[in-house]
Chain A
Amino acid sequence: MADPVTFTVNGKSLQAPAGTLVIDACKRAGIEIPAFCYYEGLALQAACRMCLVEVEKAPKLLASCTLPVAEGMVVQTESPVVVQARKSMLEFLLTNHPLDCPVCDKGGECELQDMSFRYGAGESRFTEMKHHVDEKQWSPVVYFDAPRCILCYRCVRICDEGLGVKALGVTNRGAYSEITPNKGDHLDCDECGACIDICPVGALTSGIYRYQTRPWEMEHTGTICSHCGDGCKTTLGVKNDEILRGNNRDRSGINGEFLCIKGRYAFDYVSHSERLQSPLLRSGGKLEEVSWSKALAHVAQRFGEIKASGGRFGVIGGEHSTNEENYYLQKFARAGLGTPNIDHRRSGDVPALLDALHGRQGALATVDDLYNAKGVLIIGVDLAQQHPLLAFQTRADSRHHQAKVFTVTEGPVREDKVAVRKVRAAAADQLDAVKSLGEDLKAAGELVVLFGDSIQGAAVGELVAFLDSLGVPAKYICLVDYSNSRGACDMGLLPHLGPGYQAAAQTGMSMAEMLADPSLDALWVVGANPLAGAALASQKAFVVVQDMFLTETAQRADVVLPSASAYEKAGTVTNTCGQVQRLRKAISVMGAKADLDIFGLLARGMNLDLGRAVPDQVFEEIRASVHGYNVPLPVIATGGAAMADPVHGRIQAAAQAHVIQSARDTLFTSGSWSRYSKTLNVVLEAPGELYKP
């Protein structure tokens, strides 16, 4: 067989690799063939018949979405027969379609609308009664309006192939065919909403977004999801400073158009009624609302006094704060307050991995590497629950590249379905379990290794050494919990390590030690909730908390400063793989300030010279001073992801034992924020169980 294949489309001679589908080959040559059911990345369906083309010597029109190019093939895509076929197809699709575009959510961005305008007949010969079925609600987020459906099977395939859930099917036949959820009248699924976004018409609509606006009335801001550590791009639709929807239909970002329930719907915490919109100052034992100037002045004064008297500070940073904020915070603590006591809640042993990989280049896997790897080794994590994007990539890798997947977990996980070997082992035995897979891992030829908190400390080095001994090229992902947990490590929110994992001048107290220190004079908590499930030993400590909500920690505070969410500020975040991406401000919330702005104001109040607290300027400093962060600015500025590869030399191990533990969030929880997201709480599947028996 000739390769590349030479063929003719509309009189133009084209070439394409053997096996290319006619629809793809034409697309690459700039010839558009309309289609509904054909969808990149999903199995072929040939259901919609929109892509029919005329092929010389073929007795009838052929579906170009399932037709591979052949040597000498002569194709017509705009001949009168094809044009008429498209008109007829659209007329046929519209026979039972209600044509309720003026009230349909999809109106304005509907593929059926666009196709009808471009290829349709504009008139219908159908005068009979339309077959009507009432709209159904399948879950708090998914609504289905059967008459609008054109049966392209996109939703069925994305749920089965993409998500591995298989919650949708098609029942009945012909004009009565209907998309049906797995529980008869409702859904039991991830509630990710992928089916809604992929729907070319308004058959599947979102309970969050429906009837709120028309698409063209919104501003769209592409930013990074504020929940887990995978770093999905979510494009927020905003009207009047209110986020109405999140999706990523333009496939920008490392996630393509994948989003889970959190990325697509759980932005709603920003408008929760308990959101703090005014600083609070403790007076007479009670927290009372005060002005920003009064609150900031009070904090600056007390910090100044404690510093002057040589008091003990403790500073705890957040896993959702930007790199700029974390960098500035550690600088504030170390240089401004003169304390080495800085930490954050640690969920994965990133320093140990970077130490084990010292001297290597490109040993950290990106989200894209995971999709292209020949083998994937998952250790100690329920990926589908905790890292939905990485789970999606693993499934796609298995589907498109026949990757060999290995799971070493405590209990059954969804990835088992695509795994060649699955091993059940308790957290402590997982390293040994990996070793038992030796020969199979070797056979995979290449690996991306994902590990959670079950591999930490010396075990990380052992894991790397073991895979080295097999001679299998491996790239690693150390899984961490939240949107910038990785950045918090990289920026030096660690008691023994500064930015870029340089040994700190003086080793400070860890988070647990700060909380347990009875003589702590001040505790400054930024975007974290350490007092959920732990007590503060020091009675006298002056506690300052920057948070969106009155969390357990904020309730103990002397001053609470209302902070902005990730959707309300600019900056950069680093995902669990180490990919740096830029946040863009989508909305403003009255009364709240970005943490970086608060740091700047406090620095000014204390007469500290820490540099300007402006995201771009701080990022410049990070690029110049933090190893591996000298990332290309144009990539970041245009919404891309740049790998920050901070692997350089050996990294000093922590002197004292410290806790590294994942919060084990599910698809329906997000740490302290879970309770403030209505969507996460109203779906039936919530709270979602890890390791279902």
Chain B
Amino acid sequence: MTFSPELEKRFAEMAAKYPEGRQKACLIPMLMYAQDEVGHMTEELKEEVAKRLNISVLEVNEVVGYYTMMRKKRMGETHLQICTNISCLLWDGDQLWERACQKLGIGHNEVTADGKISLEEVECIGACSWAPAIQVNYDFQHHVTPEQLDKLIDDLRKA
């Protein structure tokens, strides 16, 4: 499969950073950047990465299977991640989660029918000082109130 010229450039730069024979170490960043472009871990993507790093597809699957951030199926254009781990829970993060589920009519790791939004209940995202926190694609939102969540979802629906 082919990637965009920008991504190819990025891969080439990355590979040069590791000592000869250790290119396998590029696996995780390569998968993440490729996922950003492709959307999720397709069989084709895994095969391509395996081929480029001279490892087996099984070795790629071992890594993909382990990390939840490596998506096994296609997610929404916007991926909404709500933390319900201890710090956020103390600040009603679980209620944010319930609210989002009800509003969107979907659950954990599910996508809306129009493919715009997907939801994921995540463990600690390292934003405890600003709990409750949510993550919209790669962006953090801190001290989220139910009203802010509603507005965010409405905006995303309109977009």
Contacts and interface: CB of A to CB of B under 8 A. Distances in A.
Contacts of A180: 58, 61-62, 65
Contacts of A171: 61-62, 64-66
A172 interface: yes
A608 interface: no
A125 interface: no
Candidate in A167, A169, A173 with the most chain B CB atoms within 10 angstroms: A169
A95 interface: no
B150 interface: no
Interface in B51-93: 56-59, 61-62, 64-66
A181 B62 CA distance: 11
Interface string A517-552: 000000000000000000000000000000000000
Contacts, number: 28
A168 B62 CA distance: 10
A173 B65 contact: yes
Interface residues of A, number: 11
Contacts of B58: 166-169, 180-182
Nearest to B61: A171
Interface residues of B, number: 9
A172 B56 contact: no
Interface in A317-340: none
A173 B61 contact: no
A172 B64 CA distance: 8
Nearest to A156: B62
A71 B65 CA distance: 42
A169 B66 contact: no
Interface in A445-470: none
Interface in B11-44: none
Contacts of A166: 56, 58-59
A172 B59 contact: no
Candidate in B56, B58, B59, B62 with the most chain A CB atoms within 10 angstroms: B58
Contacts of A169: 56, 58-59, 61-62
A43 interface: no
Nearest to A167: B58
B24 to A, nearest CB: 13
Interface in A138-197: 166-173, 180-182
A170 B62 contact: yes
Contacts of A168: 58
B50 to A, nearest CB: 11
Contacts of A173: 65-66
A46 B59 CA distance: 20
Contacts of B64: 171
Contacts of B61: 169, 171, 180
A460 B75 CA distance: 66
Contacts of B59: 166, 169
A169 to B, nearest CB: 4
Closest 3 CB pairs of A and B: A171-B65, A169-B58, A172-B65
12 contacts: A166-B58, A169-B56, A169-B58, A169-B61, A169-B62, A171-B64, A171-B66, A173-B66, A180-B58, A181-B58, A182-B56, A182-B57
Interface of B: 56-59, 61-62, 64-66
Interface of A: 166-173, 180-182
Given A166-B56, A169-B61, A181-B58, 18 more contacts: A166-B58, A166-B59, A167-B58, A168-B58, A169-B56, A169-B58, A169-B59, A169-B62, A171-B61, A171-B62, A171-B64, A171-B66, A172-B65, A180-B58, A180-B62, A180-B65, A182-B56, A182-B58
